[in-house]
């Protein structure tokens, strides 16, 4: 069995989701978001992401992390901020001894919806179905679970 | 007295420089670079930056950190990588209880050379003069010392 932590980094909201994968079966463990303090400095917020992920990892003990890559598109300023948050997420995982895998948004969507251009709502829906959840996870938590599912598929050789 | 750590983050080479500032007098403490392993993954290299800065901070106990901002210009892909490294540097400082200040490359050059468009060689030369160094620090270490000097000036109300 592999316990996989999926992370969808963001300077305002970082989603996380943990899935257990064993022989092609995936079980939901936990998901949520780290919401950083809007009134604090950027440095402070980056530190909140680090400490939030640290706590999630120490509580649930995943064996491996998968982190969504930053899509270099529209706004370079947003991409740069996202890069900061993503670097912090990667190091939070590394500092806890987790191997870190990267997946593009396209690969993640393809893994859960079968279609690289899927909408956030489609991802949210399919995450709920694939993990047999009774409720819909929030969009950011669903994205993080989707990253974990993508890595689980990768481990199964499905991707 | 304030012991200031200046950081010039980079995914390949991260420069650091520490300066003691007391009543307008600046004393050199240490400078160097953290060179990440070219053959390793990006995640591994980010972790090397984190651990390298951690060691520098724990050895020399600076009270405050100043980090050069990423210049959003030329290559968005490089800026994104730099963003990762910079986020990691900021959190390494925060995790050690240091306040973190940001300065643009322009402000840093103005602080040490008096001219926002100064060349790397001019920065290197003026850092040597201002800190009364017997030798020239490497370009990356000089940049980091320049960030520390910039913050020292700021503390003195010179900026």
**Is residue A24's pLDDT more than 90?**
no
Whole-angstrom distance, CA of residue B7 vs CA of residue B22 = 20
Neighboring chain B residues of A94 at a CB cutoff of 8 Å: 43-44, 46-47, 50
**Is residue A73's pLDDT more than 60?**
yes
Q: What is the ipTM of this complex?
A: 0.91
Neighboring chain A residues of B86 at a CB cutoff of 8 Å: 83-84, 87
Q: Do A79 and B82 touch (CB under 8 A)?
A: no
Which candidate from B43, B50, B80 shows the least CB-CB separation from A72?
B80
Domain boundaries in chain A?
A: 2-155
**Confidence band (pLDDT; 50, 70, 90) for A74?**
low
Q: Does B44 touch chain A (CB under 8 A)?
A: yes
Q: What phi and psi values does residue B120 have, to the nearest 5 degrees?
A: -60, -35
Which residue(s) pair with A16 in the sheet?
A7, A32
- Residue B71 contacts residue B110 (beta carbons within 8 Å): no
Q: Mean per-residue pLDDT for A49-75?
A: 92
Q: Mean per-residue pLDDT for B97-109?
A: 96
| CATH 3.30.420.10 corresponds to the domain A2-155 | yes
**Is residue A75's pLDDT more than 80?**
no
* Nearest chain A Cα distance for residue B31, angstroms: 23
**Is residue A158's pLDDT more than 60?**
no
Residue A91's pLDDT is 98
Q: Considering only alpha carbons, which residue of chain B is nearest residue A48?
A: B91
Whole-angstrom distance, CA of residue B10 vs CA of residue A71 = 20
Just list the catalytic residues of B: 8, 68, 140
For A42, the token pair is 């950027």
Q: Do A80 and B81 touch (CB under 8 A)?
A: no
* Nearest chain A Cα distance for residue B79, angstroms: 7
Q: Do A79 and B76 touch (CB under 8 A)?
A: yes
A54 exposed, middle or buried (CB, 10 Å; 0-12, 13-18, 19+)?
Answer: middle
- The dihedral through the CA atoms of A107, A108, A111, A116 has a sign that is negative
Neighboring chain B residues of A83 at a CB cutoff of 8 Å: 79-84, 86-87
Q: Hey, of A41, A80, A86, which one would you mutate to test binding to chain B, going by the most B CBs within 10 A of its CB?
A: A80
Helix, strand, coil % (nearest 5) of chain B? 50, 25, 30
Strands (E), A23-141: 25-35, 64-68, 99-103
For B97, the token pair is 């209880």
Q: What phi and psi values does residue A119 have, to the nearest 5 degrees?
A: -80, 165
**Confidence band (pLDDT; 50, 70, 90) for B158?**
low
Residue B20's pLDDT is 97
- Claim: this prediction has a pTM higher than 0.90: yes
pLDDT in tens, A82-134: 999 999 999 999 999 999 999 999 999 999 999 888 999 999 999 999 999 99
Report the 10 Å Cβ neighbour count for B110: 18
Neighboring chain A residues of B41 at a CB cutoff of 8 Å: 100
Question: Cβ neighbours of residue A125 under 8 Å, at least 6 residues apart?
Answer: A136
Which candidate from B72, B85, B94 shows the least CB-CB separation from A47?
B94
| Nearest residue to A62 (alpha-carbon basis) of A34, A108, A30 | A30
**Confidence band (pLDDT; 50, 70, 90) for B1?**
confident
Residue pointed to by tokens 């989707």: A146
Q: Does B41 touch chain A (CB under 8 A)?
A: yes
pLDDT in tens, B26-79: 999 999 999 999 999 999 999 999 999 999 999 999 999 999 998 776 677 888
């Amino acid at each position: 069995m592999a316990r996989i932590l999926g992370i969808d980094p963001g300077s305002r909201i970082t989603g996380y989701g943990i899935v257990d994968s064993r022989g092609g079966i995936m079980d939901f463990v936990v998901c949520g978001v780290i919401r950083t303090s809007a009134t604090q400095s950027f440095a402070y917020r980056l530190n909140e992401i680090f400490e939030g992920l640290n706590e999630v990892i120490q509580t649930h003990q995943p064996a491996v992390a998968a982190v969504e890559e930053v899509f270099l598109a529209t706004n370079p300023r947003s991409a740069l901020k996202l890069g900061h948050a993503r670097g912090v997420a990667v190091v939070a995982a590394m500092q806890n001894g987790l191997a870190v895998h990267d997946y593009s948004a396209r690969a993640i969507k393809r893994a859960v919806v079968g279609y690289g251009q899927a909408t956030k709502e489609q991802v949210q829906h399919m995450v709920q179905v694939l993990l047999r959840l009774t409720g819909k996870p929030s969009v950011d938590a669903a994205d993080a679970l989707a990253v974990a599912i993508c890595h689980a598929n990768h481990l199964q050789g499905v991707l």
